[in-house]
Amino acid sequence: MNTLSDEPISNEEEDILKRASFVNNLADSIISWDKEKSLVIGLYGKWGVGKTSILNLTEKKLKESKEPVEIIKFNPWGYSESDDLLNPFVNQISTQLSKNKKNRKLLSLLKRYEALLKLFPSKDSFAKTWSYVILVADVIGINLFNKFPNFIPKLKYCVLFGLALIAILLFFSDTVLKFLSIKWHEEKSLSEIKSNINKKLLSSKKMVIIIDDIDRLSAQEIRQIFRIVKNNADFKNTIYILSFDRDIVENAITIDNKLDGRSYIEKIVNVEYDITEPAQYLLKTYLLKQLEEVIDKLDKKDTICFSEENEKWSCIFQQIIDSLKTIREIKRYVNLLSFKLNQFINRKTLEINLIDYFAIEFIRFKYPDYHNFIHRNKTYFLSEKNSLSYNLRVPNSEDDKWFEKSIAEYTPYEQICLSEIIVWIFPACRYAVNSYYKILAYSTNAGEYDRKKCICSNTFFNIYFEHLTAIDETSVSQYDIDLIKENSKDYETLTRLLKDYISNNKIHNLLKLLESNIRKPEFLDAKEAEILIICLFENADEIPDTPELFSNIPFSIILQCYIILSNFDQQSSLTIFLNILQKCKNIYYPIHFLERQISEYEESSTHVFDKENFELLKNKCIQKINENKEIIITQKHFSILIEIWKMFDENSFNSFKKDFMTKEENILLLFNTMVSVGKINTGITVSHYNAFNYKCMSYFGELEEFKKIAIRIKNVPDIYEKHKLSIDLFLANYERRNSDQLPFFR
């Protein structure tokens, strides 16, 4: 992972904002400035626009100049705890000048100049002195006199008076020493020292003093810096470059009606430069380059969303680049993306859609409160208007106003930015968003959102916020789908894998996510499709019902088969299905699948098989049934198989029936196999009920005759106990048999 440095640049090779021309002109102007004059330059700009980078490039340019320049950099931020910034300011100048022996006289003059400026004690020295006095008074005035309560009162007052005198002497000691040091020199006044300093400066290198990060100081410290510059701005051959955010500094200097910050700055600063936000095309080029590097390490299949959803990405990217105004903001945003991306990779599988990831992380970066709002209000963002009231615990007639209310506190520009990103990543809520792009933003089926791992998918939504690829024990992710595909070339391995998902109660979530992925034609080749369908058919009856699964399992499995085969041409589908029919141990599912294709042929717009092949397929199915007719009575879906058999080839079925009904044990088994189980799913609970298939029973004989058999069985306790459920159900509903439900799974 490459993290972009937030440090300012120091050479032209890093100058992506093309500031070289400005820097060259600034450096040339400084070098050619009249030695007889001083100059204060102000670089104004917001945080992150590149002021420090400009200063670094300017410093480098000045050092490369033929005319020697003394550059002194003073960053007051490093001394922000100091009560007096004059001392470190002069020390910084002295340190730089002391590197050249020719500056000894100038250094001596500067020190005396500083001493005169600080002739009166500072707050720091007063505070230190006072602490000494308090300490001495505490030891002598309290502890000592408490030990000797009868001490002579007059002596006590004398001691206290002496302490006060010592405190005054200590307080003014710095001033006295400075005064004595000045007295022994020929310059007796501030103006004399200043005059001599100017003479030295004229014969020395041009001195450029750079003061950066002024806007990071407290208001008191900002005022102090400008007092220092004001008091020293008239030195000859000296140029100050001050860098700060003008608004911040003006507000810090302004004191009610007594002092206007703007006027004060204008009196000190001679030349002003406004460092504006970089040109958008430069920022755009830089951001695109960095995003390309972020995704460069990923597999091509993970980045295909940028080509599949080019219009979506184009609109989202425009909002992002319009909002990121500086290189520093771009670096912070890209670093955030790059650093967190690994958290969404589950065993080499990317579990998110990159476009949605870039969009939601941008919202987190620029609008953290709204990012939290999205996370807390999943229902609003994933629900269509018609289903919103149904999904809300407390429906409201103003539900369609929820988005407008959610962005009310943002500026008009911020509202537009949020609106135009939301319509693309949450298409379901376009009805509530007042945005131009809701006309362009396309929507697709829920399965497509799952396949593309979109944030608007109920399966993937939480992953974007919780950075967990498995939200609970039954969760599945794209890794599981990739695992299924990877093992679809081997029947034994895939069978074991599906059984594991069933035993771990993950199979329902797997089927849902699998359905969205198999809709993509290139997901499976013919061999993989064959093996996967066989494994699904053979394990379908082991899958339990759950409240979340509104459709029944057989229908869901048959739908998966239909989707997979629809991805191939009709001839290929025929070949795959014939192989499935031959190899599949389960008789019911492939035959039921074919029956549905035939019965729904006219209604369907997509045909898995050519109609001309229906007879061939029917014959193959009858052949499969005849090969397994000895065990067909044991099949879970016996009644439906019988109905399909009779429909495909009644003669073959009648031949089977004639032999079947000659055995008494088969008649008893027939009662049991005619019981079907229905399901009532409320979405919270699943309840089941039993129904008897009188219609299918009638294929084997007259119902009145079966009634006589049932009554006779009821009078034989041993036999009745084994078949109690089916016999009781048959007799209890016999009179209402004409209105009885057909087999539930049909």
Phi, psi (5° rounding) for residue 606? -110, 125
Task: Output the CA torsion sign for 664, 669, 675, 676.
Answer: negative
Cα radius of gyration rounded to whole Å, the chain: 43
**Residue 711, pLDDT score:** 92
Task: Output the CA torsion sign for 620, 626, 628, 633.
Answer: positive
Half-sphere exposure of residue 526: CA atoms within 13 angstroms, side-chain side: 12
Residue type, 647: M
Q: Name the residue among 741, 644, 639 with its Cα closest to residue 700.
A: 639
137 exposure class (CB count in 10 Å sphere: 0-12, 13-18, 19+):
middle
Residues with Cβ within 8 Å of residue 288, at least 6 apart in sequence: none
pLDDT above 80 (res 677): no
What span, in angstroms and rounded, lies between the C-alpha atoms of 167 and 17? 59
Q: What is the pLDDT of residues 218-261, one digit of tens each?
A: 888 888 888 888 887 778 888 999 999 989 998 888 876 677 88
Half-sphere exposure of residue 507: CA atoms within 13 angstroms, side-chain side: 24
Half-sphere exposure of residue 440: CA atoms within 13 angstroms, side-chain side: 15
- 167-176, 423-432, 621-630, range with the lowest pLDDT: 167-176
199 exposure class (CB count in 10 Å sphere: 0-12, 13-18, 19+):
middle
What span, in angstroms and rounded, lies between the C-alpha atoms of 567 and 570? 9
503 exposure class (CB count in 10 Å sphere: 0-12, 13-18, 19+):
exposed
Which residue's structure tokens are 């039993």?
A: 690
Q: Which two tokens stand for residue 13?
A: 């090779």
SS (H, E, C) 291-326: HHHHHCCCCHHHHCHHHHCHHHHHHHHHHHHHHCCC
Half-sphere exposure of residue 268: CA atoms within 13 angstroms, side-chain side: 22
- Let me know: does 268 contact 40? Beta carbons within 8 Å: yes
Beta-strand pair 675-681/686-692: antiparallel
Residue 314 has a CB neighbour count (10 Å cut-off) of 11
Beta bridge partners of 192: none
The beta strand positions in 330-458, using DSSP E, are 345-346, 349-350
pLDDT above 80 (res 395): no
**Residue 551, pLDDT score:** 54
- Summarize the confidence of residues 47-61 as an average pLDDT: 87
Q: Name the residue among 322, 309, 316 with its Cα closest to residue 280.
A: 322
- 433-442, 482-491, 576-585, 723-732, range with the lowest pLDDT: 433-442
Phi, psi (5° rounding) for residue 394? -125, 90
- 154-158, 328-332, 644-648, range with the lowest pLDDT: 154-158
What span, in angstroms and rounded, lies between the C-alpha atoms of 455 and 426? 8
Residues with Cβ within 8 Å of residue 618, at least 6 apart in sequence: 594, 598, 648, 649
Beta bridge partners of 662: none
**Residue 622, pLDDT score:** 93
SS3 assignment, position 439:
coil
pLDDT above 50 (res 177): no
| pTM of the predicted protein model | 0.70
Residue type, 164: A
pLDDT above 70 (res 82): no
- CA distances for 127 relative to 8, 132, 136, 160, 200, angstroms: 39, 9, 14, 20, 37
What span, in angstroms and rounded, lies between the C-alpha atoms of 196 and 182? 14
Q: Name the residue among 276, 206, 188 with its Cα closest to residue 36.
A: 206
**Residue 495, pLDDT score:** 95
Q: What is the pLDDT of residues 266-280, one digit of tens each?
A: 889 999 998 887 888
Residue 7 has a CB neighbour count (10 Å cut-off) of 11
Please give the residue that has the higher pLDDT: either 470 or 576: 576
Helices and strands in the chain: count of H runs, count of E runs: 40, 9
Mean pLDDT (the chain) is 82
Half-sphere exposure of residue 605: CA atoms within 13 angstroms, side-chain side: 0
pLDDT above 70 (res 397): no
Residue 278 has a CB neighbour count (10 Å cut-off) of 20
Phi, psi (5° rounding) for residue 70? -95, 115
What span, in angstroms and rounded, lies between the C-alpha atoms of 421 and 366? 13
- DSSP class of residue 426 equals -
What span, in angstroms and rounded, lies between the C-alpha atoms of 504 and 526? 29
- Summarize the confidence of residues 133-153 as an average pLDDT: 49
Confidence of residue 501 (pLDDT cuts 50, 70, 90): very high
What span, in angstroms and rounded, lies between the C-alpha atoms of 707 and 713? 10
The beta strand positions in 81-215, using DSSP E, are 206-211
Residue 116 has a CB neighbour count (10 Å cut-off) of 18
- Where helices occur in 32-69 by DSSP H, the ranges are 51-63
Q: Name the residue among 184, 172, 193 with its Cα closest to residue 105.
A: 193
Phi, psi (5° rounding) for residue 689? -140, 160
**Residue 394, pLDDT score:** 64
- Summarize the confidence of residues 652-670 as an average pLDDT: 90
Residues with Cβ within 8 Å of residue 152, at least 6 apart in sequence: none
The proportion of the chain whose per-residue pLDDT surpasses 70, expressed as a percent, equals 80
Q: Name the residue among 92, 37, 33, 90 with its Cα closest to residue 62.
A: 33
Q: Which two tokens stand for residue 40?
A: 């204060």
